[in-house]
Amino acid sequence: MRLAILSRAPRSYSTRRLRAAAVDRGHDVKVLNTLRFSIDLSGDAPDLQFRGRQLRDYDAILPRIGNSITYFGTAVVRQFEQMDVYTPNTANGITNSRDKLRATQILARHDIGMPATTFVRDRADVIPAIERVGGAPVVLKLLEGTQGIGVILAPTIKVAEAIIETLQSTRQQVLIQRFVSESKGRDIRALVVGDRVVAAMRRVAQGDEFRSNVHRGGSVEAVTLDAEYERVAVRAAQIMGLKVAGVDMLEGNDGPLVMEVNSSPGLEGIERATNLDIAGAIVDYIGDQVAFPQIDVRERLSISTGYGVAELVVHGDAELVGRTIKESGLWERDITVLTVHRGTSVIPNAKGREVLEAEDRLLCFGRLEEMRSMIPERPKRRKRVKRLPKDAMESLQED
C-alpha cells in the first residue's frame, strides 16, 4: 500500500519506528509534514496539495497530529476522509479525544468507568461541584493539557477555588475531578490497535508526585491486563472513533477508571517496556483495513429523504418482546435493524431469527415516519415560542 504518515517530527522515535515498520513490510511510505498541506475546495471534488503540488494518490494515512495543531491537522485528516483515503483515526475521533471534557461526555453514556467529573462556569457553582465529586483533595485539569501539564492536585477546597478562579481569569477552562487516591500515583496505559490491546504498561509516579506521566519522571513496567481492563480500553477507543489509541486508566477500587484516550500515543516508552513491535502491529492493521475507508454512516444514510437512523427501545410490555425480528413487523414497515444493543453487548447485523428481549435497543435505518411512532415519548422540554409582551424590550437588561 501507499501510506502517508502525517507528522511534523520525522526524526522522533515513534515516526521513525512506524516508517521502518512500513518499509520492512514492503509498503511505499512517506512522512509528510501536516502543516504543508493545502486543503483544496476549488475543484469538483475535495482535493489536497502538498508543498504547493498536487498530492499523489495514497491508500491510507496514519495521522500523528500534535496538540498544538489540532484544528489544522484534523482539517487535513477530514479532507483525506472526504477523498476516501483510509485512516485508522478519524478527524472526529481526534477532535473528541483531545478535549478532556468532550471525551468524558461521550464516554459517560456508554457505561465506561471514569473518575467522577464535573465542569462548571460560575463561581457560585465551584464548591458544590467539588463536594459532588467527593471534596478535597481534588484534581483540576485544563481541558487540553497533555504530558501531565495542567493537571493539579488541590489539597483543600480553598486552594482549589483559588486555582479555578485564577485559571478562569485567564480564560482557561478546568475540569474538577475526584482524586482517585487508591491508584497511588500509578496508572495503566493500554495501546489499542483495532479491536484489541496489543500492549500495556503501568506507569509509576516519581517520589510524592501523583502524576505518572513519563514526562513527569514516571517509570514504566510491562503489565498483563485483566480481561476487564482490556475490554474497557478497547471499548473506550471504539466509542471515540479511534483504531489506534493509548487509553489511560486508573486502578480504582471497583475496576478501571478511564482518564483519557490519546489519538497519537507515543511508542517509545511502551515498546521499550514491553519489547513488542507495536509499530509493526499498527502498520499491519492499516494494511488489513485499507479497503474500508471511513464512512460517516449517519451522514450517508440520511441522504435519502424521509429515511434516517434511529434507536428504538423494546419496552417490557410492548408487542415486540419474545418475537423474532422477522415476526416483529419492522421489515413490513420499511425498518431495518442494523444492530441490537443488549446490556453492554452488541449483536451486529441482527438476523431475522434474533429474538427480541425487553430493554433491547435497536439501531435502525428506515422510514422516519414509521420510526417516529416507536420512539418512546420524551417529557417535552421545548416550549412553544411565545410572542414578546409589548413592554419587554424596554425592561430588557443585558446579561
CB of 55 to ligand ADP, least distance (A): 32
Peptide bond into 137 cis (omega under 30): yes
What residues between 339 and 368 interact with Mg ion by CB under 5 A? none
Query: What is the edge-to-edge ordering of all strands in the sheet holding 186-193?
Result: 219-222, 196-204, 186-193, 244-252, 255-262
Given the C-alpha cell 473506550, which residue does it identify? Answer: 236
**Cα–Cα distance measured from residue 358 to residue 234, given in angstroms and rounded to the nearest whole number:** 27
Out of Mg ion, ligand ADP, none, what residue 212 binds, judged by CB under 5 to 8 A for its kind, is ligand ADP
Task: Write out the H or E segment, with its range, that includes residue 200.
Answer: strand 196-204
- Measured in Å, how far apart are the chain's first and last C-alpha atoms? 57
CB of 206 to ligand ADP, least distance (A): 11
Nearer to Mg ion, 130 or 249 (CB): 249
CB of 109 to Mg ion, least distance (A): 22
330-335 long-range contacts, CB within 8 A, separation 24+: 330/362, 330/364, 330/366, 333/366, 333/367, 333/370, 334/366, 334/367, 334/370, 335/364, 335/365, 335/366, 335/367, 335/370, 335/371
Out of Mg ion, ligand ADP, none, what residue 146 binds, judged by CB under 5 to 8 A for its kind, is ligand ADP
Out of Mg ion, ligand ADP, none, what residue 147 binds, judged by CB under 5 to 8 A for its kind, is ligand ADP
CB of 374 to Mg ion, least distance (A): 42
Size of the site for Mg ion (CB under 5 A): 1
CB of 377 to ligand ADP, least distance (A): 38
Nearer to ligand ADP, 179 or 307 (CB): 179
Nearer to Mg ion, 81 or 248 (CB): 248
CA triplet 251, 252, 256: central angle to 5 degrees? 65
CA triplet 35, 36, 40: central angle to 5 degrees? 105
Nearer to ligand ADP, 186 or 342 (CB): 186
Nearer to Mg ion, 248 or 271 (CB): 248
- Chain residues binding ligand ADP by CB under 6 A are 115, 139, 141, 145-149, 151, 177-180, 183, 187, 205, 210-213, 248, 250, 259-260
Options 248, 271, 354, 360; binder of Mg ion; rule CB under 5 A: 248
Nearer to ligand ADP, 46 or 134 (CB): 134
Stretch that binds Mg ion, among 93-101, 126-134, 242-250, 300-308 (CB under 5 A): 242-250
Question: Strands 60-63 and 2-6: what pairing?
Answer: parallel
CB of 52 to ligand ADP, least distance (A): 35
Q: 299-314 b/e with 16+ CB inside 10 Å = b?
A: eeeeeeeebbbbebeb
Q: Does the protein bind Mg ion through residue 59 (CB under 5 A)?
A: no
Nearer to Mg ion, 248 or 360 (CB): 248
| CA 188 from centre of chain | 18
CA dist 208 to 150, 181, 187, Å?
17, 12, 15
CB of 68 to ligand ADP, least distance (A): 14
Given the C-alpha cell 462556569, which residue does it identify? Answer: 121
Per CB under 5 A, residues contacting Mg ion are 248
